[in-house]
């Protein structure tokens, strides 16, 4: 189980890094760009992730993951201005998540916690959020990629570079590694 927890932390950090890199490529003004009235901007997605992370991971072993003070509907308002404000929410949310994950012991992974009165093991709650957060990070990346167009700097294997990438991977000895080993290095 500790291996799962370690892997989950690395995957969360990987997806955070994708969001970091995507947001770094867009202008401050573009953080609030909306393709249409029913869509969310990058800043609104960040605001939603922040609200979710704080609600789910604050006192998660002893209180419901949907906190009474959470204003979920307001998370979708496109009212955050300034890159610093967006990044502050982004960092606070991820820090809350990582602090919670660091606090979990192996014997707590099967502990039942609640989200809207629905019981989950801690392991299930981690898996739930490991699907939810990358979903929204993908939205951030997609919006940033649309805005940047041809000047987009790829966050994964660049187009038409798969063969070269795979050749480098297969040139290495087989070994147990996590796919994020090289991705998370500065």
- Which pLDDT tens digit goes with each residue over 68-91? 999 999 999 999 989 999 999 999
Per-domain boundaries in the chain: 2-170
How many of the other CB atoms lie within 10 Å of CB of 18?
19
pLDDT in tens, 26-67: 999 999 999 898 999 999 999 999 999 999 999 999 999 999
pLDDT at 1: 65
pLDDT bin (cut points 50, 70, 90) of residue 18 is very high
pLDDT at 175: 83
pLDDT bin (cut points 50, 70, 90) of residue 15 is very high
104 Cβ neighbours under 8 A, 6+ residues apart? 5, 122
Is residue 148 classed as helix, strand or coil in its secondary structure?
helix
pLDDT at 185: 52
pLDDT in tens, 172-186: 898 887 777 766 554
pLDDT bin (cut points 50, 70, 90) of residue 98 is very high
pLDDT at 179: 77
What distance in Å separates the CA atoms of residue 162 and residue 152, rounded to the nearest whole number? Answer: 17
Claim: this prediction has a pTM higher than 0.75 = yes
Looking at per-residue pLDDT, the higher value among 126 and 174 belongs to 126
pLDDT in tens, 140-165: 999 999 999 999 999 988 888 899 98
Cβ atoms of 96 and 70 within 8 Å: the answer is no
Specify the long-range contacts of residues 4-10, CB closer than 8 Å, at least 24 apart: 4/109, 4/123, 5/101, 5/104, 5/106, 5/109, 5/126, 7/178, 8/101, 8/126, 8/127, 8/130, 9/98, 9/101, 9/102, 10/178, 10/180, 10/184
11 Cβ neighbours under 8 A, 6+ residues apart? 130, 134, 180
The number of CA neighbours under 13 Å toward the Cβ of 149 is: 1
- Topology of domain 2-170, CATH: 1.20.120
pLDDT bin (cut points 50, 70, 90) of residue 94 is very high
Plot region of 59 (φ>0 → left; ψ -120 to 50 → alpha; else → beta) = left
């Amino acid at each position: 189980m500790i291996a799962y927890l370690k892997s989950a932390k690395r995957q969360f950090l990987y997806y955070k890094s994708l969001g970091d890199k995507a947001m770094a490529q867009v202008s401050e003004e573009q953080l609030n760009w909306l393709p249409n009235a029913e869509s969310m901007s990058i800043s609104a997605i960040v605001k939603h992730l922040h609200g979710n992370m704080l609600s789910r991971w604050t006192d998660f072993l002893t209180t419901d993951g949907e906190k009474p003070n959470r204003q979920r509907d307001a998370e979708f308002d496109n009212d955050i201005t300034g890159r610093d404000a967006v990044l502050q929410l982004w960092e606070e949310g991820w820090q809350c998540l990582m602090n919670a994950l660091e606090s979990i012991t192996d014997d707590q992974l099967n502990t039942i916690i609640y989200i809207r009165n629905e019981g989950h093991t801690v392991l299930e709650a981690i898996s739930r959020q490991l699907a939810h957060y990358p979903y929204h990070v993908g939205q951030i990346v997609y919006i940033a990629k649309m805005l940047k167009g041809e000047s987009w700097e790829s966050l994964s294997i660049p187009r038409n570079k798969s063969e070269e990438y795979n050749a480098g991977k297969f040139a290495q000895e087989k070994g147990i590694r996590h796919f994020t080993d090289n991705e998370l290095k500065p």
